[in-house]
């Protein structure tokens, strides 16, 4: 693999930062300073950053179907953590790319790759999240346009980003948003005089939830890469 990729995989550095460290002579490969980031290296090589040995990590990318009554936290609080359902090593290294509330269900992505999860959670990347929402009353006709144009949530400096609303039943809608403010979906409906009674995340980006409640699986390579485009 290329040296810059190896440095990224074994540290928290971005590609630009890794290239900067390499080009300024901070990386040694098998005892020699290497300043070309495209140099091919192997995991058996001894690679040092400022004298400290680097070890490439294999990141983990997991999809889970969150049950109601579990929390997106690494430890149990009032409710049990959904991590209890994951029988993998080093759970404390994992985090959730976009939490769901305790009463919400659906798709949760779990990883130990912070740069990957940033692509999912930062509004800048416009990664879509699709929610199936049950409401206390039918949506009024003007809500679709309001959500498309952006609405003002209490305490937020900016309007919400354009969101797509599809009415699929008298009190049921699909809502697609590309950001994840605190309790965003509930607050959006509250701002238009409605109330969320059920909330289920069906998809993130191009990946759809395809496993039963409480189950989990590793993402495929194609699914992992779909979030880095
Ligand atoms: N928006 C909410 O209000 N709650 C969630 O769990 C997810 C999005």
pTM metric for this prediction: 0.83
pLDDT at residue 213, rounded to an integer: 98
pLDDT at residue 5, rounded to an integer: 86
pLDDT at residue 217, rounded to an integer: 97
Per-residue pLDDT at 86 exceeds 90: yes
Q: For the chain, what is the mean pLDDT?
A: 94
100 pocket-lining for ligand 1 (C-beta < 6 Å): yes
With tokens 């009353």, the residue in question is 137
pLDDT at residue 127, rounded to an integer: 97
Number of neighbouring beta carbons within 10 Å of residue 221: 9
CA of 184 to the centre of ligand 1 (A): 6
CA of 68 to the centre of ligand 1 (A): 12
Number of neighbouring beta carbons within 10 Å of residue 30: 12
pLDDT at residue 62, rounded to an integer: 98
Least trusted range by pLDDT, from 41-50, 92-101, 192-201: 41-50
Per-residue pLDDT at 51 exceeds 90: yes
Residues forming beta bridges with residue 81, ordered by sequence position: 71
- Is 112 one of the catalytic residues? no
| Best CA proximity match to 127, nearest among 82, 178, 166 | 178
CA distance linking residue 158 with residue 200, whole number of Å: 25
Domains contained in the chain, CATH given: 3-53 (3.10.290.10), 58-124+210-224 (3.30.70.580), 128-204 (3.30.70.1560)
184 pocket-lining for ligand 1 (C-beta < 6 Å): yes
């Amino acid at each position: 693999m290329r040296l810059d990729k190896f440095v990224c995989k074994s540290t928290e550095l971005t590609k630009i930062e890794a290239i900067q460290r390499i080009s300024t002579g901070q990386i040694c490969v098998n005892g020699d300073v290497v300043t070309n980031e495209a140099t091919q290296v192997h995991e058996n090589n001894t690679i040092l950053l400022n004298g400290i040995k680097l070890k490439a990590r294999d990141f983990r990318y997991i999809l889970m179907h969150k049950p109601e009554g579990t929390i997106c936290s690494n430890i149990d609080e009032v409710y049990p953590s959904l991590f209890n359902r994951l029988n993998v090593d080093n759970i404390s290294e994992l985090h959730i790319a976009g939490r769901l509330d305790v009463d919400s269900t659906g798709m949760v992505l779990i990883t130990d790759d912070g740069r990957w999860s940033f692509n999912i959670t930062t509004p800048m990347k416009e990664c879509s999240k699709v929610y199936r929402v049950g409401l206390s009353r039918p949506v009024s006709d003007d809500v679709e346009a309001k959500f498309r144009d952006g609405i003002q949530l209490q305490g937020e400096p900016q309007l919400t980003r354009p969101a797509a609303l599809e009415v699929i039943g008298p009190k049921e809608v699909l809502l697609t948003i590309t950001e994840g403010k605190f309790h965003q979906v509930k607050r959006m409906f509250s701002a238009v005089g409605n109330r969320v009674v059920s909330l289920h995340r069906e998809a993130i980006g191009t990946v759809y939830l395809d496993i039963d409640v409480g189950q989990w699986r590793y993402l495929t390579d194609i699914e992992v890469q779909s979030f880095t485009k």
